Amino acid sequence: MPELPEVETIARGLAPLLTGRRVAGLTVLDRRVFQGDPGEFEHLFSGRAITRVFRRAKLCLVEVEGGALMAFHLKMTGRLFVTRPGERPEPHLRVLVALDDGRALHFTDMRRFGSCRGFAPGAIESWDFYASLGPEPLELDAAGFRTALAGRGGRIKAVLLDQKAVAGVGNIYADESLFLAGIRPDAKADRIPAAKLDELFEALRDVLSRAIESGGSTIRDYRSAEGVEGSFQWTFNVYGRAGEPCTVCGRALTSQKVAGRTSTFCARCQRASFGS
């Protein structure tokens, strides 16, 4: 957490608050979450107008005139929000971006797993993590999705979580998509027929789109840029529901570790093999 829908929700919420505003100053309060030189960070962004706020994979990106980028990776407990002039900062403030109207963008992170980086124009393409990211699932078609997964012989849940295959998918939306497609998380990816992969692609697009419309899923800490909890968690079919009845057949849901993550599924509705 947060995954693609949550970061997309945050970026959409920040965009109208930040776009057009100039960066009045930057303060790095915790070097453990800031990767780079704070002085260079200040030089790149101070005095420049913010032109765009957008998402790539699970990164929230803030672009200023000239093309420099701030990249925020929220990981488990990172939050981004804009405060009013004189508003008392919340605990765990790590990076503060002052704006020309007296407001400020705050990056907080209770557990310090998240990070903030600054990139000169075009330099983000040289960041190994960013360069390795796979395609965006909401920008693919079914054929592109099959291509992204081609040649990957691991379990399908592990493939979906691999940011080099498709970008932005995490534990919640992998489980939910696999349930809708009728595929067990431990099914071998390279043994799933093309028609079934097409079903998975449609399920993934559906789940991600509905999650974005719902403002994401709040399990514990996630809030939008406006401080609002997501509501998609109230529609979960499997995630976090081990032992509860399947919403389709009523059988108790099963959980096991796949790719190091707890994965919940219905042993009756979801298949692990698809031989003829």
How many other CB atoms sit within 10 Å of the CB of residue 43? 14
Q: Are 245 and 253 in contact (CB under 8 A)?
A: yes
| Mean pLDDT value of segment 254-276 | 91
Residue 258 phi, psi dihedral angles, 5° rounding: -135, 125
Reply yes or no on whether the pLDDT at 276 is more than 70: no
Span 60-84, pLDDT tens digits? 999 999 999 999 999 989 999 999 9
Give me the helices (H) in the chain, please.
4-18, 38-45, 128-131, 142-149, 156-161, 171-181, 194-213
Q: Are 254 and 266 in contact (CB under 8 A)?
A: yes
The predicted pLDDT at position 220 comes to 80
Task: Please give the positions annotated as active site.
Answer: 2-3, 58, 261
Average pLDDT value for the chain = 95
Q: How confident is the model at residue 180 (pLDDT cuts 50, 70, 90)?
A: very high
**pTM listed for this prediction:** 0.95
Closest CA to 59 of 163, 201, 204: 163
- Alpha-carbon distance of 18 to 6, in angstroms, equals 18
DSSP 3-state of 223: coil
| Mean pLDDT value of segment 141-150 | 96
| Domains within the chain, CATH numbers bracketed | 4-131 (3.20.190.10), 137-265 (1.10.8.50)
Span 194-218, pLDDT tens digits? 999 999 999 999 999 999 999 999 9
Closest CA to 7 of 48, 56, 43, 51: 56
